[in-house]
Amino acid sequence: MSNTALITGASSGIGREFARYHAKRGGDLIITARRADALEALKAELEAAHDVKVTVVALDLGAPDGAAQLYAATKDHKIDVLINNAGFGGQGAFTDRALDADLAMIDLNVKALVALTHMVAKDMVAHGGGKILNVSSTAAYMPGPLQATYFATKAYVSSFSQALDAELRDKGITVTALEPGYVATEFAAVADLEGTGLAAQKGSTADKVAKFGYDAMLRGDLRAINEGQLRFMLNWIMPWLPRRMAMNMIKKMQTK
Ligand SMILES: NC(=O)c1ccc[n+]([C@@H]2O[C@H](COP(=O)([O-])OP(=O)(O)OC[C@H]3O[C@@H](n4cnc5c(N)ncnc54)[C@H](OP(=O)(O)O)[C@@H]3O)[C@@H](O)[C@H]2O)c1
């Protein structure tokens, strides 16, 4: 049985670990991100260690036709697993930030994810099955002052994922939203979060989070938060906190 995974944002962090975990299980891969050299190095590593074939597609997925270009590059493959992982954040007060940076975030975190999912999920419906894992965040559970756009993109991803799962489950396709807490990757540097309380946390590691999310996807879980304490707090405490108190707490964590 074929088991090919398309993984976005595979050049570093959690995405690279998804690729390693999938290859270890004997699955072929299509890996994508902008940095071709990092993708080629991962391809060489995985093909040497496992009996798998890895296809590299280096492109800017946030570009207007990024998702369509990626889909076109995969047309010779049947995709069994889609992992929408590419994404980035950005610290700062909304009105101080460059509008282009926030719009680019929406283009990648939301628009590209929706477009790619539409194309690939249609094929999965035609094939009668598939697994989709969308990398959201604990940010999906609350608004995020000083990362207002990023938190809103992740709220979108978690909302979209759960609705799609309800539409697709009886067609043999499950959609899982992975909602990690802080993970030590390039994310904090890219988002300019260094020096905040958020980035001062030790956090989890990319390999642990990828395994946790991938296994949740295999089970067909709807939402998956990787840390028990966070899961409890977000589901049972956060909804009862006065909103302004919650906003102040989150703002403090993201202040430099
Ligand atoms: N780290 C955390 O604390 C954390 C917590 C919750 C959720 N997440 C989510 O986890 C996902 C993975 O993040 P990470 O922590 O692994 O961070 P990361 O190490 O910065 O990885 C981000 C990946 O996205 C790719 N990417 C960024 N912009 C792109 C673009 N325009 N086109 C194509 N690929 C692009 C990057 O590759 P190139 O630069 O080579 O393009 C890289 O492979 C993201 O969706 C993030 O929001 C992270």
Please tell me the predicted confidence (pLDDT) of residue 182.
Answer: 96
Q: What mean pLDDT is reported for the chain?
A: 97
The domain locations on the chain are 5-253
The reply to whether ligand 1 has any atom less than 6 angstroms from the CB of 62 is yes
Ligand 1, residue 63: give the atom nearest the CA.
Answer: 31
Q: pTM value?
A: 0.98
pLDDT tens for 28-69 read 999 999 999 999 999 999 999 999 999 999 999 999 999 999
For domain 5-253, is the CATH number 3.20.20.140? no
pLDDT, tens digit, 9 for 90 and up, residues 145-157: 999 999 999 999 9
Residue 130 Cα to ligand 1 middle (Å):
23
170 Cα: distance to centroid of ligand 1 (angstroms): 31
What is the phi/psi pair of residue 134, to 5°?
-105, 125
pLDDT at 199 over 90: yes
Residue 127 has pLDDT above 80, yes or no: yes
Measure 136 CA to ligand 1 centroid, in angstroms.
11
Catalytic residues: 150
15 Cβ below 6 A of ligand 1: yes
Ligand 1 binding pocket mutation candidate from 6, 8, 12 (most atoms within 8 A of CB) = 12
